[in-house]
Amino acid sequence: MNIKLLSANPALYSSKRIIEAAKQRNHNIEVINHTKCDIVIEKKKPTIFYKGKQLEKVDAVIPRIGASVTFYGTAVVRQFEMMHCFTTTESQALVRSRDKLRSLQILSRAGLGLPKTIFTNYSKNVEEIIAQLGGAPVIIKLLEGTQGIGVILAETDKAAESVIEAFNNLQARVIVQEFIKEAGGADIRAFVVDGQVVGAMKRQGKVGEFRSNLHRGGSAKVIELSDEEETAVIKAAKAMGLGIAGVDLLQSARGPLILEVNSSPGLEGIEEATGVDIANTIIKFIERNV
């Protein structure tokens, strides 16, 4: 098959592993920087040019679209879809996943457990927002943040009020969530491919850090999901319409709570923690669909 990996950085671990896995299974694979693609729109003839050359006879694309270029990256994926190429992440699912508020609404509608979340239009009644969550501590998240950036733990009501008011004054959109104390600064990242959990790891934040992101110094170890957790993870990926997803969840006293569903999950942490060849699983996913 002729596969295109849409990535702005072929040197990343995830990109290198996918290229390696595709070649091992005797496929032609090329890295395309989606930010450098030119989209040509005309009647019944969608085309894409890359470095002055028209891209033709593409069987499948693997989007690895960074959050900062979601708009243009999604347009490129949509153009490939119009060219009848299989994509491991559909353009509309990518758009949904990048909107944190919309994602939570979709997951809520699907009946999945979530931390109680409040979003307002820069409300001045900050005290009531905090009270509706049962008081501090609360988590305050920027809607545009990634990899734990723009996530704040406010340990007192006064601290929460100050942070929310500061963001409101800056007209920065935030959501406010209940703090799940029993999670103990840990969360679970489950990797889903084609409706199946192919690997899961428990991430623990470093001492004094409530965020468990590996980018922020957290550690990870392999974990076996409970039946309830596995069901929730698969249901979350399906609700978002994602063929490949990194589902983040918390273990709580009332069951698994979904935090986020990532449409371009990294492979390094999960492959190292689990020992599973997830890149190979992704290529097999393409083979079954093309």
DSSP letters spanning 47-107: EEEETTEE--S--EEEE---GGGHHHHHHHHHHHHHTT-EESS-HHHHHHHH-HHHHHHHH
Which strand (E) or helix (H) includes residue 3?
Answer: strand 2-6
pLDDT at 28: 98
Q: 43 near 67, Cβ under 8 Å? A: no
Q: What are the structural domains, with CATH classification, of the chain?
A: 2-90 (3.40.50.20), 97-112+184-277 (3.30.470.20), 117-179 (3.30.1490.20)
Reading the block at residue 93, the tokens are 């699912």
Q: Is 281 exposed, middle or buried (0-12, 13-18, 19+ CB in 10 A)?
A: middle
Low-confidence ranges of the chain (pLDDT < 50): none
Do 209 and 216 contact (CB within 8 A), yes or no?
Answer: yes
The predicted pLDDT at position 73 comes to 97
Strands 60-63 and 86-87: parallel
pLDDT computed for residue 263 by the predictor? 96
What's the pLDDT tens digit per position in 115-124? Answer: 999 999 888 8
Residue 250: φ, ψ to 5°:
-110, 145
pLDDT at 146: 60
CB 184 within 8 A of CB 250: no
What's the confidence (pLDDT) of residue 149? Answer: 73
Half-sphere exposure of residue 262: CA atoms within 13 angstroms, side-chain side = 21
261 touches 208 (CB < 8 A): no
Residues 6 or more apart in contact with residue 51 via CB below 8 angstroms: 36
pLDDT of residue 215: 55
Q: Quick one: three-class SS letters along 203-218?
A: EECCCCCCCCCHHHCC
- Give the three-class secondary structure for 7: coil
| Cβ pair 242, 91 in contact under 8 A | no
Residue type, 93: A
Q: Give DSSP secondary structure letters for 119-168.
A: --SS-S-HHHHHHHTTSSSEEEEETT--TTTTEEEE-SHHHHHHHHHHHH
Decide: helix, strand or coil at residue 243: coil
